[in-house]
Amino acid sequence: MQYRHLGRSGLRLSTLSLGSWVTYHNQVDTGSAVEMMAAAYDGGINFFDNAEAYAGGRSEEIMGAALKTLAWPRLNYVVSTKFFWGLDRTSEAINRKDTLNRKYLMQAMDGSLKRMQLDHIDLIYCHRPDPHTPIEETVRAMSDLITQGKALYWGTSEWPADDIRTAWELAERHHLHKPVMEQPQYNLFHRQRVEKDYARLYQDTGLGLTTWSPLASGLLTGKYRQGVPDGSRGAMDNMAFLRDELLNRDKNDAVGKLAGIAADLGGNVAQLALAWVAHNPRVSTVITGASRLSQLQDNLGAMALLERLTPEVVQRIDDITLPLSA
């Protein structure tokens, strides 16, 4: 495993990390989480990603229970959570969802700490931008959570570049804790935000990236080339919104071509897609997901392919995927 600094911070994260979106509670119980987190840790992974909205807080509960069982030294691992959506998307209560106001953030932080059975969370994110709350209010609240010792670093997820810059400049002007990282989607078919929109931020603010969906929700594994397999993410009722993209014929044909490149390098197409994301030096860590131990072990094999991504190989990959990317 390789380790990279989170932006300009001194914190180092494993190049591959393990996330819990979709899987925890829906496909992974506490016992399976313990098994996979232990295997990830043994493979060099030190960062485990979560969010309060994942499975309505139950993902945090499972990860917290797993961490308690594993009983690793607290300095040895990094965990995250994210705030914005709230725990119950069906609730009509005010200040409980779709907001980054100070009241919500303060109480959401305490809820996550309780569910994860921790006295602090290393990385906290504003899970989406909130057009109805002044950015300065959000920046002050996130900075205060760090000052209070409840979190160590804060950042954003899927924020426009201009909003990230505004938040950073407000923190700079008022001597507050600045946003350190952004968590954007980034994969062979989704590039615009990371490669173009944020281009100036890396140098200007030292922005680090903890990217998600490196396999495009499973499209880049090749499993959807013949339809939606039983037990896959695409077969889940709550993931139905992904099916049109997962079954996109042009992209699945491209995946077939990528499989040939992967085979030439001694791996499979999923490992190639993970290695490609990690090949970008702006990426601090690539968040992977797994519903079973074999998937996790297969993902770890991407590190071997990373060393084989020569400029010529990257060009072959781009020739196939760049015309289909957004």
pLDDT tens for residues 101-159? 999 999 999 999 999 999 999 999 999 999 999 999 999 999 999 999 999 999 999 99
Q: Is-contact 271 301, C-beta < 8 A? A: yes
Environment class of 293 (CB within 10 Å of its CB; exposed 0-12, middle 13-18, buried 19+)? middle
117 Cβ neighbours under 8 A, 6+ residues apart: 64, 65, 67, 68
With a cut of 90, say whether residue 235 has pLDDT above it: no
With a cut of 90, say whether residue 2 has pLDDT above it: yes
pTM of the model: 0.93
pLDDT bucket at 227, cuts 50 / 70 / 90: low
Amino acid at 98: D
| Catalytic residue annotation | 54
* Three-state SS at 200: helix
What is the C-alpha to C-alpha distance for residues 214 and 189, in angstroms, rounded to an integer? 9
Environment class of 12 (CB within 10 Å of its CB; exposed 0-12, middle 13-18, buried 19+)? middle
For strands 181-182 and 208-211, give the pairing: parallel
pLDDT of residue 247: 77
Burial of 18-42, coded b for 16+ CB within 10 Å and e otherwise, reads bbbbbbbbbebebebbbebbebbbe
* Residue 144 parent element (H or E): helix 135-147
With a cut of 80, say whether residue 245 has pLDDT above it: no
Q: Which class would CATH give 3-219+277-308?
A: alpha beta
pLDDT of residue 239: 59
Number of H helices, E strands in the chain: 13, 10
Q: What does 22-86 look like in DSSP terms, one character per residue?
A: TTBTTTB-HHHHHHHHHHHHHTT--EEE--TTGGGGHHHHHHHHHHHHH---GGG-EEEEEESS-
| Dihedral angle sign, alpha carbons of residues 216, 154, 4, 17 | negative
Q: Is-contact 278 15, C-beta < 8 A? A: yes
